[in-house]
Amino acid sequence: TQARGPDPDLPIISERLSGAHKILVLSGKGGVGKSTFASVLSQGLAQSSEVGLVDVDICGPSVPKLLGCENEQVHQSSNGWSPVYVQDGLSVMSVGFMLPSDSESVVWRGPRKTGMIKQFLRDVDWGQLDYMVFDTPPGTSDEHLAVVQLLSGISGAVLVTTPQEVALQDVRKEIDFCRKAKVPIIGVVENMSGFVCPGCQGESRIFYPSTGGAKKMCEELRVPLLGSIPLDPRIGRACDFGSSFLDTCADSPAATAYLDIIAQI
Ligand code: ADP
């Protein structure tokens, strides 16, 4: 058998995405707020930059819903697929735009998922971007490998977790993955770290483990903790209605925490 040469698409992708800081948003577990973080991060960065958000969670695309653009479709132009423009400075690509309905499942094996991700990078007319944010599925699977293999020069990864030990355990694996794949770690975001009662303003640390949460883990593993975002039911509501939490709840502690984290990226 003949040895396969280098992938001829890699230089095309590299050229097409040159100049963009590429940021992976990772989580060990599902449901910790990773897609929400990727969406709010993209909206925050888009206030002053050109941003592309790539939903590489092929089997569970939630970005179109979170950004309120789930009824949009992707169009073909002479320069390739046009991404969906969500607001000034923010364009999005997701397999969710290509499904006939919201409840349609995507049951694909690795090579097909990798093929779709390659199309997102090679065939989409992103224009000149300052940032590309990648929302990935939980864990470390085909999609993560595809992104790491197809992109040259990933700026870094942000790891989203809740404070619970069961979630932190899986973040340790994500950190190990980043180190093996030589992806720099920008830092860890602790989401749902406490709940401020709107009545008495007292803070309950609902998910806090006796082991010390993300701060202790970050110290142990020598990775930066970028910040902690409190539980705020308005985040869920903004996501359900596809509105921008940073705009609708600009003065909330959660929005302040988000902006502080975005400023470090
Ligand atoms: P993941 O991508 O990790 O599976 P999602 O971003 O889909 O998680 O978030 C899971 C759920 O938690 C969503 O309903 C989202 O609105 C909600 N959520 C995320 N972060 C917060 C937060 N800080 N406060 C309240 N709800 C949140």
Tally Cβ neighbours within 10 Å of residue 70: 18
User: 35 among the known binding-site residues?
Assistant: yes
Distance 1 CA to ligand 1 centre (A): 48
pLDDT of residue 199: 82
Tally Cβ neighbours within 10 Å of residue 227: 21
pLDDT of residue 42: 97
What are the backbone dihedrals phi and psi of residue 132, each rounded to the nearest 5 degrees, phi first?
-120, 125
3-state secondary structure of 257: helix
Tally Cβ neighbours within 10 Å of residue 4: 6
Bridge partners for 260 per DSSP: none
Bridge partners for 189 per DSSP: 160, 227
Q: Which residues make Cβ contacts (< 8 Å) with residue 149, sequence separation at least 6?
A: none
pLDDT of residue 3: 66
The distance of Cα 199 from the centroid of its chain, to the nearest Å, equals 33
- Domain positions in the chain are 9-263
- CATH tag, 9-263: 3.40.50.300
Distance 56 CA to ligand 1 centre (A): 17
Q: Which residues make Cβ contacts (< 8 Å) with residue 212, sequence separation at least 6?
A: none
CA distance 231 to 72: 30
Cβ burial 137-159 (10 Å sphere, 16+ → b, else e): bbbbebbbbbbbebbeebbebbb
Q: pLDDT truncated to tens, each residue of the chain (265 aa)? A: 566 788 999 999 999 999 999 999 999 999 999 999 999 999 999 999 999 999 999 999 999 999 999 999 998 888 899 999 999 999 999 999 998 888 889 889 999 999 999 999 999 999 999 999 999 999 999 999 999 999 989 999 999 999 999 999 999 999 999 999 999 999 999 999 999 887 887 889 888 887 788 999 999 999 999 999 999 989 989 988 888 989 988 988 999 999 999 999 9
**Residue 236 CB–ligand 1 contact under 6 Å:** yes
**Residue 62 CB–ligand 1 contact under 6 Å:** yes
pLDDT of residue 77: 86
Pocket of ligand 1, candidates 29, 36, 170, 203: which has the most ligand atoms within 8 Å of its Cβ, to mutate? 36
State which amino acid sits at residue 69: C
pLDDT of residue 243: 86
Q: Which two tokens stand for residue 208?
A: 């806090």
Q: Which residues make Cβ contacts (< 8 Å) with residue 58, sequence separation at least 6?
A: 95, 106, 108, 113, 116, 117, 137, 143
Counting from 1 in the atom list of ligand 1, the atom nearest the Cα of 229 is 23
CA distance 253 to 92: 27
